[in-house]
Amino acid sequence: MGACVSTAGGVSEEEKVRHREAERQLREAKAKLDNQVKVLLLGSGDSGKSTVLKVGVYLRCEQCEFYVACSAYWMMRLAFHICYVLYDIHLVLYGSCAQMRLIHDLHFSPQEFEFYRQLVFSNITHGMKQLLEALEDMDLQVSEEVKPYVDLLEDPPDIKDGQSFPDNYHEPLKLLWNDEVVQKGWSRGNEAALPDNLAYFYNDLDRLFNNNYYPTEQDIIRCKARTVGITETMFKLRSHEMLMVDVGGQKSERRKWIHCFQDVTTILFLVSLSGYDQCLVEDKDANQMQDAMAIWDSICHSQWFRTTSIILFLNKDDIFKEKIMHSDIKNTFPDYEGEAGNAVQGREYFRSRFTRLSRKSGQNREREIYVQRLPMLTAHKKFYERDRYGTSEGSYGRS
């Protein structure tokens, strides 16, 4: 049993595997000694990874509906504690990036504000273009009165530094948005993965077209720029360095992920709760939630992350709560047995689907599942304290 068969040329496969494992353990031990922390943000496209990095998250306690805002820096510290104090634990967090009430100033530079101002214009014009294209797939046609404006969106201009939004776009965009057929298409946005931020920006179009428009922090949070490649952000915690790594989540980006799998302390895995009835931007035939589950499954059981702690963050809770009032989870997840329109039962259903995947049978070791008592985050002392989470199927335990 377990005899190593050396090949004529030297080292056997089994020895190589053992050697790689020993190397990995050494690396991990070294990283722990050095107190280096590397947090990797993973998840499907549009799940909110870059938004976490930009502003942090707004977390909700399941028990008391208490909300707490948590900056990216605090997410990082939380990840740090989970790795070193609660090593190897999955933690499920609920909340929203966009609901984040900013308790701290975000400290964006004037250049960053200018960058986001230009991005807002790009988001509203390209978002409308996407919406109009989606109408064609839905066999809908814009009303005759607004048809002449459609061409404006063929090739919308980029805004230059200091330049106001072009006036000739203001009324046409407003009329297009308010068009009955466009609104009908928007209400079926889940079929085309339309950007979540469109209603937010279009409901406030006059403010954006004001010549003195300066993006608010909420505008910045709502902006969308798809991540291409890998971005690294370094935080300093006293003398320690903490690295947060953000990747692009769309399918074409995923082959790059492996380049940042080494020496990961904690994975922060983002799932868009509102994606349960939505397709992917890059694949109209795929369901966002199913896609997230498939990635989650492979990450949880990947050899790279056998000893990595993982936080599951069920994001976009604000959109989820609104959406389930008119879109039953059962339509896309037929085994859902909760009430239609019940957000607590809906969240619990998805939480249990993800936790079940993470402890698939046949694994050497099961991971424990905990739900964070969020108010402890604010109470600083022992903020890593946690609840043992039990379900009707029984509690999870280490094996």
Q: Which residues are annotated as a binding site?
A: 50, 227, 246-250, 315-318
The residue from 250, 290, 307, 332 that contacts ligand GTP (CB under 6 A) is: 250
Does position 231 bind Mg ion by CB under 5 A? no
Q: Which residues in 212-231 contact ligand GTP (CB under 6 A)? A: 221-222, 224, 226-227
What burial letters (b/e) apply to 118-133, b meaning 16+ CB within 10 Å? bbbbbbbbebbbbbbe
Q: CA separation (Å) from 139 to 132, 143, 344?
A: 11, 13, 36
Residue span binding Mg ion (CB under 5 A) among the ranges 170-178, 195-203, 212-220, 225-233: 225-233
Does position 227 bind Mg ion by CB under 5 A? yes
Does position 233 bind Mg ion by CB under 5 A? no
Asked whether 96 and 57 are in contact (CB, 8 A), the reply is yes
Q: Which residues in 180-209 contact ligand GTP (CB under 6 A)? A: 196-197
Tokens 């104090």 belong to 85
Does position 127 bind ligand GTP by CB under 6 A? no
Does position 117 bind ligand GTP by CB under 6 A? no
Provide CB contacts within 8 A for 214, sequence distance 6+.
113, 117
Does position 256 bind ligand GTP by CB under 6 A? no
The residue from 44, 47, 50, 125 that contacts Mg ion (CB under 5 A) is: 50
The CA distance from 112 to 118, in Å, is 10
Helices assigned H by DSSP within the chain: 13-34, 49-55, 72-84, 110-137, 170-178, 180-187, 198-202, 205-208, 217-222, 288-300, 317-323, 329-332, 343-358, 375-378
The CA distance from 297 to 152, in Å, is 44
Partner touching 316 among ligand GTP, Mg ion, none, CB below 5 to 8 Å by kind: ligand GTP
Does position 352 bind ligand GTP by CB under 6 A? no
Q: Which residues in 4-23 contact ligand GTP (CB under 6 A)? A: none
Q: Which residue is nearest to ligand GTP (CB)?
A: 249
Nearer to ligand GTP, 185 or 195 (CB): 195
Provide CB contacts within 8 A for 264, sequence distance 6+.
38, 39, 40, 304, 305, 308
Residues that bind ligand GTP (CB under 6 A): 43, 45-51, 96-98, 196-197, 221-222, 224, 226-227, 248-250, 315-316, 318-319
Q: Given the rule CB under 5 A, which residues bind Mg ion?
A: 49-50, 227
